Amino acid sequence: MRRAAELGCRIVNCGARAFAREEWEFAQAAGIAVFRARELRGSRDFAAAAVERLGDPVYVSFDLDGLDPSELPSTGTPEPGGLDYYQALALLALAGERRRVVGCDVVELAPDGVNHHSSLLAARIAYKMLGYFVR
């Protein structure tokens, strides 16, 4: 995301929980909109504010690390307190409704052979994104 910001792309980060000081300072200096998970807990109202900050067209990169590990433990950096599934869907649906999404990806699945539901949830997020974004 840093490279995208350096190229002048507008970035909105939802569900952030941990930053190195340098990352936080860069995000602030670059004007990256950060919606921290602890401020969003249990809320779906943030989706409108987040989507409002997006440009148009939009590329959506869904980092599975943004979800709470109680729902998706098999990820590269599980960090307590992330978004829940329905918060994520509300955000994605609104982005598809209010913006022209030209591409998307789902990243950071780290299958571990135990938590098979993580792969299912990642696939479901990708499936939902296609439904919300393809018109």
In the chain, where are the structural domains located? 2-133
Tell me if residue 16 falls in helix, strand or coil.
strand
Q: For residue 53, what pLDDT is reported?
A: 94
User: What average pLDDT does the chain have?
Assistant: 93
B/e letters for 115-124, b = 16+ CB within 10 Å, e = fewer, are beebeebbee
- Whole-number pLDDT of residue 57: 95
Class of domain 2-133: alpha beta
Decide if 1 contacts 13 (C-beta within 8 A): yes
Q: Take residue 64 and report the two structure tokens written for it.
A: 């599975």
pTM for this structure? 0.91
- What is the DSSP code (8-state) at residue 67? B
pLDDT in tens, 36-86: 988 887 776 889 999 999 999 999 999 999 999 999 999 998 999 999 999
Looking at residue 2, its pLDDT comes to 86
